[in-house]
Amino acid sequence: MTQPWPTPSVTEPVRATVPVPGSKSITNRALLLAALADGPSTVHLPLRSRDTQLMAAALRSLGVRIADGNQGSWEVTPGPLRGDADLDCGLAGTVMRFMPPAAALADGDVRFDGDEQARVRPMNTVLDALRSLGASIDGDSLPFTLHGTGSVRGGSVTIDASGSSQFVSALLLSGARYEQGVTVLHDGKPVPSLPHIEMTIEMLRAVGVEVDDSEPNRWRVAPGAIAARDWRIEPDLSNAAAFLAAGAVTGGAITIPDWPLATTQPGDAMRDILAQMGCDVSLSDNGLTVKGPERLNGIEIDLHDFSELTPTVAAMAVLADSPTHISGVAHIRGHETDRLAALTTEIRGIGGDADETDDGLIIRPSQPTGGLWHAYADHRMATAGAIIGLKVPGVSVDDINTTTKTIPDFPGMWAAMLQLAERV
């Protein structure tokens, strides 16, 4: 049984420079595109965490060669995709959603399963779309079996992607390899996290795939080859958010090296969020530096397009001097856990003041007293507890190891940041 992790508390501002590993979202897209390419590719500076290792293992199971290269890179050599394979998705949305459209190109059965929590995450949108495009699948959620024939007809399909932008990206990433390409039409409430679709499109175009996104809620990928190329992975900005928050809530200063000057990562929205909450934010060729105020102020913010930042913003809001209203994130009830219910429960559990709304949270100033913070097998819930614990003594996270989903050693990085701060 995992032992609770006592979160470190500080009485002085946290000031440090914190290098952050590569983006999970970009790493897993690069691995998949490299596996479907017309020649060998290299993925430089990839994130090596549970989610990306699961993606690499899934591709290897289908016959793709992925070998360790220089300086932590991955050398990817594609080949004919073969079935009679068992794929473990863990709790990785990118694996459970992105891999079925690729596995449909394999010759033979491919069996999918994952963690217990993954079995309740929505999958029918992708699976029903694949059936419409010519694939044969038994099941509507994990576990399920895809009966590959070596090719997919493709064509046009209408889906409701209001639950996750991953449904759209999943079909686009493999669509160029389908006989007719793929056209995805969205019919439903607005698609969340649109920057992730923009990331997918940018990466597809970088490997020579023709993508038409000229009409709202319609994406067309033309059939054709996917070019091999070398990928260089940006730091994961959503993971960096927790470390920036450490500086913000303690009135300190955190620098994240190599923060891109232009990016499609939703985590880049942290720059504006932190500025709204009273921080001084500066971006240069050397990276991003955030300096926190004496105390953060609350904000009203729609995080629909940047919903993965909700736990981090909520954690900062607990320590702010005025109320915060987060809206536009009803869909995160279907993330690793029901994040709205989880955040409300845990904030109240340590003496905070939070209410769940139809599409978000209201968090008010309070005097938290500490206690056990439950992570719900959700990496961002775990890091939210760590942020609050910096200023609230007595907070323990019940399962800090869940952070390995996207950060190889979060406790070690957190401790190193605080040790650096002590020496400043």
Tens-digit pLDDT profile for residues 77-133: 999 999 999 999 999 999 999 999 999 999 999 999 999 989 998 899 999 999 999
In this structure, the answer to whether residues 12 and 86 fall within a common structural domain is no
pLDDT of 335 reads 80
Domain annotation covers residue 311? yes
92 and 121 within one domain: yes
- In the structure, what pLDDT confidence band is assigned to residue 17 with cuts at 50, 70 and 90? very high
**CB burial readout 5-29, b (16+ within 10 A) else e:** bebbbbeebbbbbbebbbbbbbbbb
The answer to whether position 231 is within a domain reads no
d(CA 393, CA 384): 14
State pLDDT tens for residues 24-49.
Answer: 999 999 999 999 999 999 999 999 99
Render pLDDT for 50-87 as a digit per residue (tens, 0 to 9).
Answer: 999 999 999 999 999 999 999 999 999 999 999 999 99
Looking at every residue in the chain, the average pLDDT score rounds to: 96
Is residue 155 predicted with pLDDT exceeding 80? yes
Q: Is residue 358 part of a domain?
A: yes
Give the angle 66-403-139 at the CA atoms, nearest 5°: 65
Average pLDDT of span 392-407: 96
Distance from chain centroid for Cα 374: 20
pLDDT digits (tens, 9 = 90+) for 158-189: 999 999 999 999 999 999 999 999 999 999 99
pLDDT (mean) for 152-159: 98
- Interatomic CA distance for residues 373 and 390, integer angstroms: 13
Helix (H) or strand (E) holding 65: strand 65-68
Task: Dump pLDDT digits (tens) for 195-227.
Answer: 999 999 999 999 999 999 999 999 999 999 999
Domain match, 37 and 12 both = no
Is residue 414 over pLDDT 70? yes
> Would residue 73 count as lying in a domain?
yes
List the binding residues for phosphoenolpyruvate. 24, 93, 121, 166, 339, 380, 405
Q: Half-sphere exposure (CA, 13 Å, Cβ side) for 61? A: 23
Q: What is the CATH number of the domain that holds 163?
A: 3.65.10.10
**Percent with pLDDT over 70 in the chain:** 99
Provide the CA 30 distance to its chain's centre, in angstroms. 14
Judge whether 184 lies within some domain.
yes
- What pLDDT sits at residue 422? 61
CB 157 within 8 A of CB 183: yes
Q: How many domains does the chain have?
A: 2
Label residue 420 by pLDDT band (50, 70, 90). confident
Residues 305 and 180 occupy one common structural domain: no
Rounded CA separation 121/339 (Å):
13
In sequence order, the 6+-apart residues with CB closer than 8 A to the CB of 319 are: 249, 295, 296, 388, 391, 392
Query: Where is the domain boundary, 222, 254, 283?
Result: 222
Shared-domain flag, residues 28 and 11:
no
pLDDT category, 423, cuts 50, 70, 90?
low
**Identity of the residue numbered 369:** T
Would you place residue 337 in the very low, low, confident or very high pLDDT band (cuts 50, 70, 90)? confident
Residue 97 lies in a domain: yes
* pLDDT band per the 50, 70, 90 thresholds, residue 421: low
Locate 290 and state its tokens.
């955030």
CA atoms within 13 A on the CB side of 130: 31
Q: Tokens for 39?
A: 């020649």
Respond yes or no on whether the N-terminal peptide bond of residue 143 is cis (omega within 30° of 0): yes
Residue with tokens 């470390």: 243
Residues 271, 342, single domain; the answer is yes
Binding residues: 24-25, 29, 93, 121, 164-166, 193, 308, 335, 339, 380, 405
Residues 146 and 215 in one domain: yes
Structure token pair of residue 266 = 């939703």
Q: Show which of 222, 252, 275 is a domain's final residue.
A: 222
Q: Based on the domain organization, do 169 and 158 belong to the same domain?
A: yes
**Same domain flag for 314 and 369:** yes
* Residue 158: its H or E element: strand 155-159
Domain termination site, one of 152, 187, 222: 222
DSSP percent split of the chain into helix, strand, coil, nearest 5? 40, 20, 40
Q: Are residues 178 and 92 part of one domain?
A: yes
Strand ranges in 334-384 using DSSP code E only, listed in sequence order: 353-356, 361-364, 371-373
Is 120 a domain residue? yes
- Give me the domain span that covers residue 378: 5-21+236-418
Query: Quick check: pTM over 0.75?
Result: yes
3-state secondary structure of 147: strand
- Over residues 301-315, mean pLDDT: 97
Residues 36 and 115 in one domain: yes
Are 125 and 208 members of one domain?
Answer: yes
Helix (H) or strand (E) holding 200: helix 194-206
Catalytic residue numbers, as ranges? 308
| Residue 423 forms part of a structural domain | no
Confidence (pLDDT) at 412: 97
Query: In the beta sheet, which residues pair with residue 310?
Result: none
